[in-house]
Structures are given as structure tokens and as C-alpha cells.
Amino acid sequence: MLLMNLLSAKNLSHSFEYELFSDVSLEVHPKESIAIVGMSGSGKSTLLHLLSTLLTPKKGDVFLFGENIKAMKKKRLAEIKRNDLGLVFQSHYLFKGFSALENLEVSQILSQGVIDKELLVKLDIEHCIHQKVTELSGGQQQRVSIARVLTKQPRLIFADEPTGNLDTKTASDVMELFFEYLDHNNAAMILVTHDETLAYMCDRVYKLENKELVQVK
């Protein structure tokens, strides 16, 4: 292998009541940003769950940093999840009873990450960092979960509509922040979005349609 893939998916298929998609393959290298678009219900979130180890593929394989997730010991998988994967999903999964800062500290402690003051300023959450997350707006909570993920310093970011609660300008600023992070950390991002403008900011764009993942950029 010339250049190690951060992620490689081979011939993935998935069905619930009916087949959602089949034979999906994808390679992801350091510094790359990849967007997945498609109609609601096309299976974007399910595919992201498969790629990020939240679901185990029944058909096909997912390799993270060269290792097949099916062959990994539980402990190794937990270690990779804790240290190397950053998940920003629609439901924020923030610890509700705690302040924004305490939520970031969890990442800092568990993954030996770094809370970057400048990042908080860029995300415009430095002024509300001591407030409980339940007191924050949807948009602020979303930015706290983005800060939390970046604090972890993951090698792979999986984001499902991470900017869904943000206005256009803030959303595109957040995208720039992600790109800067990927570049500085040799990391990669797979982003699911219905927003074509945000998708086309990424290096590659794929559309999930008619059970296939087709590259459109």
C-alpha cells in the first residue's frame, strides 16, 4: 500500500425491511473531506453509522487505519473509538446536566485532547462556556458538540448534518474550521448533508441514490 487509508469501505450493503444500498465502496485519505448527499430516507445516516462502527456490516467490510473492524478485539475497537473517531450527529449527545466547558473537559480527559481557546472564540461560544447546555440554543449546542469533537483531536470525523441548526454564514465558517483542522492534523472528514453548497466545499461529493453511491464531484 502506497499511502495508508484512514478508512476503506469495501462492497458494503445494508438492509432493514428492504435493501437500502449495496456494493458501496469508499477510500478516505488524510486531509480529505468527503460529502455524502441524497434524499431523505436514502440511507445516508445508516451508511455513516456503518463507516463509524456504530453498526457492524453484515455484508462487506470497513477498515479503519488498515484494520478490519470485524477482526478487531473489543478493546481495540473501544480504543479507536475513544482516541481516533470524532462523531458529530444530529442529536448532540451532550451531557445535559453539565456546562459547555465540562462537556469539553470530558473529551480532554478521556482522549488526552486539548481545549483550544481560539477555537471557542472562532465558534463564538467562549461567552457561554460556563452555562449548562440545557440553557443554550440549538445552534449553540451544535457548536459546543463541534468544539467537543475537535477537542478530542480525532483522525477521522463523521458528521451528520453538523450545521443543520446554524445560519448559512455560520455554517460555512464552521466548514472552514473543519477544513483547517483536517489540514493541520492529517485528519479526514465524512460529512452527510442535504445542503449542496456545503457539500461542494468538500474535496469529493457522493450521492446516495437508487441504492448506489455515485461520485458527483
Ligand X SMILES: Nc1ncnc2c1ncn2[C@@H]1O[C@H](COP(=O)(O)OP(=O)(O)O)[C@@H](O)[C@H]1O
**Applying CB under 5 A, which residues contact Mg ion?**
45
Query: By Cβ distance, which residue is nearest to Mg ion?
Result: 45
Among Mg ion, ligand X, none, the one that 18 touches (CB under a kind-dependent 5 to 8 A) is none
Q: What span, in angstroms and rounded, lies between the C-alpha atoms of 164 and 70? A: 32
CB 96 within 8 A of CB 133: yes
What mask, x for binding ligand X by CB under 6 A, covers residues 2 to 41? --------------x---x-----------------x-xx
Q: For residue 207, give the C-alpha cell.
A: 450521492
DSSP symbol at 13:
E
Between 14 and 155, name the residue whose CB sits nearer to ligand X: 14
What mask, x for binding ligand X by CB under 6 A, covers residues 135 to 174? ----------------------------------------
Verify binding: residue 91, ligand X, rule CB under 6 A.
Answer: no
Among Mg ion, ligand X, none, the one that 46 touches (CB under a kind-dependent 5 to 8 A) is ligand X
Among 22, 45, 131, 165, binds ligand X (CB under 6 A): 45
Between 46 and 141, name the residue whose CB sits nearer to ligand X: 46
CB 20 within 8 A of CB 14: yes
Among Mg ion, ligand X, none, the one that 41 touches (CB under a kind-dependent 5 to 8 A) is ligand X
CB of 106: closest distance to ligand X in angstroms? Answer: 27
Backbone angles phi, psi at 141, to 5 degrees: -60, -40
Strands 59-64 and 212-215, bridge-based pairing: unpaired
Verify binding: residue 42, ligand X, rule CB under 6 A.
Answer: yes
Q: Quick one: CA torsion of 92, 96, 99, 100, rounded to 10 degrees?
A: 0
Quickly list H helices, 89-167: 100-111, 117-122, 138-151
Q: What span, in angstroms and rounded, lies between the C-alpha atoms of 142 and 136? A: 10
Backbone angles phi, psi at 156, to 5 degrees: -135, 130
Q: Is the dihedral of CA 36, 140, 172, 180 positive or negative?
A: negative
Q: What span, in angstroms and rounded, lies between the C-alpha atoms of 217 and 104? A: 35
CB of 97: closest distance to ligand X in angstroms? Answer: 28
Between 45 and 172, name the residue whose CB sits nearer to Mg ion: 45
Between 2 and 210, name the residue whose CB sits nearer to Mg ion: 210
Residues that bind ligand X (CB under 6 A): 16, 20, 38, 40-46
